[in-house]
Structure 1
Amino acid sequence: MVKNIRKTKPAERFLFHFPALQVIGGSVTVVQGGTAILPCHVIDTNDDLTQITWQRRTREKPHNDNFLTILPREGVQFVNGGDDRFKYIGNFNNKNGTLQLSNVALKDEGSYTCIFTLFPSGNQKTEILLIVIGPPFTNIKDNLPTLGKEEVLFATCTAAGSKPPAEVRWLTDALGDKVRTTTNSTQYDNDTTTTVSSLFGVPTSEINGHQVQCVISSDAMSKEETLPFSIQIYFPPTEVNIRAISENSFECVTEANPSANFTWNLPSLQSAVKVDRAKLQLLSLTSDLNGLYQCEASNAYGSKHGQIYVHVASGTCSAAWASFAVFLFLNVIGAAAWWFFKSGYFQRCVEQ
């Protein structure tokens, strides 16, 4: 008798894939002075958590060491001195070890390691890279150029202490090739950079007063910064003229940069004259006011003066005036005044 023999297949194997334990972290970028969140938590595990340990290796402390531990009952404990800027914002029961660091400084930049002590898996860790960026301190400095024919430095625009380095450029509008720029950068040990851009040109009156802009941009800035600047060419007072405002008041006029200050040298009684900066007013019309009046215009770059001779005629006519903006030496004042009088420059009033 032939028996039917059934062949059996090899036992089938069933594979079950369990999710692997993971420690979640990540890199963080923060602006100097801001607040950084250092994320760290464990997922896909039912192990018991007994301790969370934080280590760091920073610019200030280049050697990796423990600086903070978190225990289920004792809570947060600092190692080797506390730092109130750190705050534990995680949840121990949820296996979340996230820290918050406020008022971040450049010295805090570096690597932070979060270590979970689990049973039975043992220590599990992840590394968080903290990158600190810093916006620059910006300014424009006027080099105070004076009139001349040779190229000089007009101004410098500076972006100091930037991390990463800032870009500095000038917008010179219609000046074209009348100006040129140079840019130099200096990097420091704390990884910050100072960038200086200089503006050059020939200091002529044509360039004086032109508006330009210095534009500064950096990844550490929310938007680029524009600093306006007016090119100033400085010079002492030019020719000083005295013009009549009315029959008894005068004004001293000149061009200067910066604007001139005015000083009047008066031959008459102070009580009979009113001076208001560049303006001179005669309060009465008597012969006591006769004489040479000198106006001096001055600024930090020099001074110049102009003169006027005032003569009040006798009689029913109120006054007669003549002015001239030439320099008179004191030893010839009398002769000059007599010449002007004889030549008809001074009107003479005759009693009726």
Structure 2
Amino acid sequence: MAKDMNARICLGFEIKSSGLLFAVLLLTIQGAASQKVKVEAEVVSYPGQTVNLRCNFVDQGEIQLTQVSWIWEPTDGIRDNIAVFHPQFEPNYPNSPLKGRVSFPNPSLENPSIVITDVKMTDEGKYICEYATYPSGNEQGTTSLIMLAKPKNTASSVTVTEGTKPVVVARCESANGRPAAKIKWVSVVNGQGTNTTKPGTDNTITVSSEYILVPTAADNGKDIGCVVSHRTLDKPQSIPLKLAVEYPPKVTVVGYDNNWFVGRTDVVLTCQATGNPVPTTINWKLLSGQMPDTVQIKGNKLTVLKVDEAVNTTFVCEVKNRLGIGKDQVTVVVRVKRLPMKGPTTGSIIGAILGVVLILALIATAVVLFRKHRKNRSNGDGPPNYKPPPPKKTGGSTEMLNAKRDSLTAAQPLNSAYYETNGEPVTNLDAYSDEEAGYNEEAPNPSDWEEPAHPAGNEAPDETLPIYEEPPSPDGYHGNEEEAEPTSHPSRGDSFVSPAMYV
């Protein structure tokens, strides 16, 4: 039982597989058969030209060709036979809209191409080359004839009056083209375009577009462009336009600086006005009263020859065009004294110049220092990268100097003048070397030091060093030893102060 079920399943699968394979083979054969008639897929032409529709049979083999027919299928119409060729008969051209303009230039079954002269826009459609064969039956190929017509493109602006409702401000048209053209608008104003299509002459198409906008005075003179794209054009065609919006005059009076003082001369007020159409009338007047004698009017300018109390009033300028009147006014206040004139801020200008100069100088200095630093580094100059060791001390020079001073002051008062006859005073005491100076005796022990005190008139003990005799002064001055008073020697802990020197 199980074996029978498996056998049935296998048999069904084989049948389905065979059917699918047969369908694929049938489609392949049909596709191959459909390719036996070779034609051009598309032919493009313009009205008045001559077109050649080619056709031939490929891979004939054992197939017998008996007859060739050309069939025309309009875009919106019924099929018509337009040309028939049989090798045993003359070519035949049945009645059709193409009769008299279609023919076989070289009639044969191998090359049954046809020629259509003076093509029209209405000739557009499908052209079918059909072979009658044995034993496979009819074989055919289809060529699409596309007729092109270059449209005539125009655009214009529409003069409108400013308002609050959307109106058409520009129109653009691409007339009698095929296929239909595409229109778009390019503008800086806030509007939108609408397109409509209608049949043109000789099976062509006309496309119209309108640009709609709520017009304002500010829109007058703005640029707008109609751009038309079509298959017959190398690039889109742009038609520039300017919007035309009419509005009443817009008026502004300028020239008053709020500094009209008594005695000022030749002050001018100017009446500036815009409008569409252009204003034709300009009229100056006072808000009340008559125009002063010191006032002169010429066109849109009002000149006050000399300011006085008579011009302490309100001046009005009225401008008129076809749509209405616009006006503006200015009230003049005459002052007894003039206001300070606002001059250029010289201090600010000078400060700004100095600031710029300072900045430039800083920049130049920084550049110079940077270049010098780079040059020094490249040459190996500059301070060393290590710190040299301090000088080595060779002995207690300070202590030796103090000892010598104590021995000298034992026989001589401290206030005696001391003169250094040779050399300069030694300042770097720590670097002084006793051995280099030739001192070999040892310094006295601080514990053996005594504070000698000599009463007035007593002699110094014999055990002291010989009395130091100071060298003669260059100017012959000698210190007065009788007036000198004995002083105690400085202790080791006190600081050393040199005695006063006379120069």
The TM-score, its normalising length taken from structure 2, stands at: 0.37
Q: Paired residue for 2:305?
A: none
Larger Cα-atom Rg: 2
**Aligned with residue 228 of structure 2, among 210, 216, 235:** 216
Cα distance in structure 2, aligned partners of 1:124 and 1:233: 66
1:215 positional shift: 0.8
Quick one: distance in 2 between partners of 1:67 and 1:256? Answer: 67
CA deviations 1:71-128 (Å, max 9, x no partner) are 4476543211563433434x43461122233444443233322123446665432233
- Give the CA RMSD over aligned residues: 4.3
Distance in 2, Cα, partners of 1:98 & 1:258: 66
Distance in 1 (alpha carbons) for counterparts of 2:244 and 2:127 = 52
**1:237/1:73 CA distance change after superposition, 3 Å:** farther
State whether structure 2 residue 218 is matched by structure 1 residue 202. no
Q: Which residue of 144, 164, 171 corresponds with 1:156?
A: 171
Give the corresponding residue for 2:10: none
What residue number does 2:155 align with? 140
**Matched AA of 1:185:** T
Q: Which is strand-richer, 1 or 2?
A: 1
Could you tell me which residue of structure 2 aligns to residue 166 of structure 1?
A: 181
Match of 1:232 in 2: 244
Q: Is this contact kept in 1: 2:131–2:140, CA < 8 A?
A: yes
Change (3 A) 1:221 1:29: farther
Candidates 197, 211, 220, aligned match of 1:186:
197
SS of the equivalent of 1:107 reads: helix
1:117–1:257 distance in 2 versus 1, CA, 3 Å: same
Instruction: Provide the rounded CA distance (Å) in 2 between the counterparts of 1:106 and 1:31.
Output: 9
Taking the TM superposition and a 5 Å limit, the aligned residue runs for 1:36-47 are 36-45=51-60
Which residue in the other structure is 1:280 paired with?
none
DSSP 3-state at the match of 1:78: coil
**CA displacement, residues 237-257 of structure 1 (integer Å, 9 cap, x when unaligned):** 999xxxxxxxxxxxxxx9886
Task: Give 1:305 shift.
Answer: 6.8
Determine the C-alpha separation between the residues in 2 that align with 1:161 and 1:192: 5
User: Residue in 2 aligned with 1:57?
Assistant: 73
CA displacement, residues 109-159 of structure 1 (integer Å, 9 cap, x when unaligned): 333221234466654322333344544442213222235565532101223
Find the counterpart in structure 1 of residue 44 from structure 2: 30
CA deviations over 1:170-226 (Å, ceiling 9, x no partner):
222xx3xx331222333659694624141424241x433333221111345443111
User: Unmatched 5+ residue regions in structure 1?
Assistant: 1-18, 240-253, 260-302, 308-321, 327-352
Q: Distance in 1 between the 2:232 and 2:199 partners?
A: 17
Range that drifts further, 141-150 or 217-226:
141-150
Query: Highest relative contact order (Cα 8 Å, sep 6+), 1 or 2?
Result: 1
Q: Report the Cα offset of residue 39 of structure 1.
A: 2.5
Q: State whether structure 2 residue 158 is matched by structure 1 residue 124.
A: no
Distance 1:211 1:56, change over 3 A: same
Report the number of matched residues.
231
Cα distance in 2, alignment partners of residues 236 and 103 from structure 1: 58
* Equivalent-residue separation in structure 2 for 1:137 and 1:195 (angstroms): 11
Alpha-carbon distance between aligned partners in 2 of 1:209 and 1:97, rounded to the nearest angstrom: 63
CA contact (8 A) 2:83 2:102 kept: no
Decide whether the 8 Å contact of 1:237 with 1:304 is kept in 2.
no
Question: Which residues in structure 2 correspond to 1:175-324 (within 5 Å)?
Answer: 175=188, 178-186=189-197, 192=205, 194-204=207-217, 206-234=218-246
Q: Higher helix proportion, which one? A: 2
After the TM superposition, which of the residue ranges 28-37 and 163-172 deviates more from structure 2? 28-37
- Structure 2 residue 113 is the aligned partner of structure 1 residue 98: yes
Deviation at 1:42, TM superposition (A): 0.8
Alpha-carbon distance in structure 2 between the residues aligned to 1:258 and 1:87: 64
2:82 equivalent to 1:70: no
Amino acid paired to 1:213: G
Please name the residue that 1:79 is paired with.
Answer: 94
Measure the CA separation in 1 of the matches of 2:162 and 2:45.
44
Q: Could you tell me whether the CA contact under 8 Å between 2:158 and 2:244 is conserved in 1? A: no
